[in-house]
Amino acid sequence: MGGRHPALMRLYDLAWGAALPLLHRNSRLRHGWEQRVQKAPYPGPCDLWMQAASVGEALLAGQVLQRLRSPWERPLSVLLTTNTAEGMGRLDELRREREPVRPDLLLRTAYFPLDRPRLVRKALDTVRPRTVVLLESEMWPGFMAACRERDAELLVVNGRMSEKSLRGYMKFPSLFRSIAPHRVLAMSEADAARFAALYGHSHVERMQNLKFDRIPLPDASGAAESNPLAPVLPAKSPFVVLASVREQEEDQVMTLLRGLRAARPDAVYGLFPRHLQRVDAWTARLHKAQIPFTLRSQAKEPAAPGSILLGDRMGELAAAFAPATAAFVGGSLAPLGGQNFLEPLACGICPVVGPSWSNFSWVGQELLDSGLVHRMPDAAAVLARLIRLVDAPPDRHAVRARFQAYVAERRGGSETACRSIAHSLKRR
């Protein structure tokens, strides 16, 4: 882009310059602003620069670093960057976790520079990385062009690209091909095909999605005495979990609760809002509907059949899935992309979700086709399926075994990524 498209690069630089005063007023960009515009000291030099856009990508960075080893006898210096304050919090936490146990890694963190060409060139001149890793979908043309100019080998790891993004890139195909990464490791066949359409097949290969390596497969037991919910659940009542419920679907979830209580008054129902600030709203709803409930933080004895255990504590959702008979996972009855339905599967529960699940489409349609996840078209169908599962729950050991087999076939992305990174570092 810099060499073959100098005029376009200059226009791009000027556009960023004009936008800076407006961007400075953005509350999300104020965090780390001085680093973003290269007015504060930037870490360097480092062997490896790994960019993780936000929290999700930061978790993937941790997955890679867990297995990455220095290709030399000396420690490997790594710069971890992000675009968000939340991502920075996770990267700093990752650095603190790794430092005591991984003296072979020297980790530093910083905010990713804004993509103005003169800024990213300055950052690269400071960091001087041998290899740069972009996690998932971080396609910044100014940065990619500067990597080419500075002879830093650029890898896209766990790469994903939507059809919409591809259409945008294909408006300037020669531009993006001139700054193509040296290697793209795509997370799926469909993503690999889209990257190949833009950059050419010689730049692209397929890898297993890193996220499969992060899926926990615990030895879950609903009867485990260590489960913090065990004292507040009656031994002989089914326990139905309504998990990660979002504000936009609360009316529909109230319909589920009414229908479930009418069909199975002997069950106890665990209601876990996705955001704890919604607990007060749920308290008002349940009072108005005259549905008996107990706040989880106030529960001291087994809940009465037909009542609601309202989750108002952080971090107990996984514990709720372990003794559950059936589970609905929210964010799916409204067009929100869905919440994590893999946790109940790891506990041997076939979750029920609504029509929206795009946030987790990376797990593959095969998981739904196999019957391990029940995707229903609306709230009425969700209710009917939950009642059926409470009446005849699948064998949880068989469910866990099938899910483990599904995940095991798809693990290994971390090893692939680390091999490619180490090979690049040694070659450079």
* Count, residues in the chain: 428
pLDDT over 90 (residue 217): no
CA angle at 301 for the pair 300 and 306, rounded to the nearest 5°: 120
Contact between residue 52 and residue 80 where contact means Cβ atoms under 8 Å apart: yes
CATH fit for domain 230-408, picks 3.40.50.2000, 3.40.50.360, 3.40.50.970, 3.40.50.300: 3.40.50.2000
Domain map of the chain by residue range?
24-208+412-427, 230-408
Q: What is the pLDDT of residue 221?
A: 46
Calpha distance 329→351 (Å, rounded): 7
Name which of 146-155, 239-248, 271-280, 311-320 the model is least confident about.
Answer: 311-320
Average pLDDT over residues 9-16: 94
pLDDT over 90 (residue 391): yes
Average pLDDT over residues 324-329: 98
For the segment 164-201, what is each residue's pLDDT rounded down to a tens digit? 999 999 998 999 999 999 999 999 999 999 999 999 99
What's the pTM?
Answer: 0.82
Report whether the peptide linkage leading into residue 103 is cis, meaning its omega lies within 30 degrees of zero: no
CATH fit for domain 24-208+412-427, picks 3.10.20.740, 2.40.33.10, 3.40.50.261, 3.40.50.11720: 3.40.50.11720
How many CA atoms lie within 13 Å of 265's alpha carbon, on the beta-carbon side?
A: 3
Average pLDDT over residues 114-142: 96
Q: Percent of the chain having pLDDT more than 70?
A: 97
The phi, psi pair for 427, rounded to 5°, reads -70, -35
Calpha distance 371→214 (Å, rounded): 22
pLDDT over 90 (residue 344): yes
Q: What is the pLDDT of residue 218?
A: 62
Q: What is the pLDDT of residue 224?
A: 56
Average pLDDT over residues 355-368: 92
Calpha distance 322→324 (Å, rounded): 6
Topology alike, domains 24-208+412-427 and 230-408: yes
Q: Mean pLDDT in the chain? A: 94
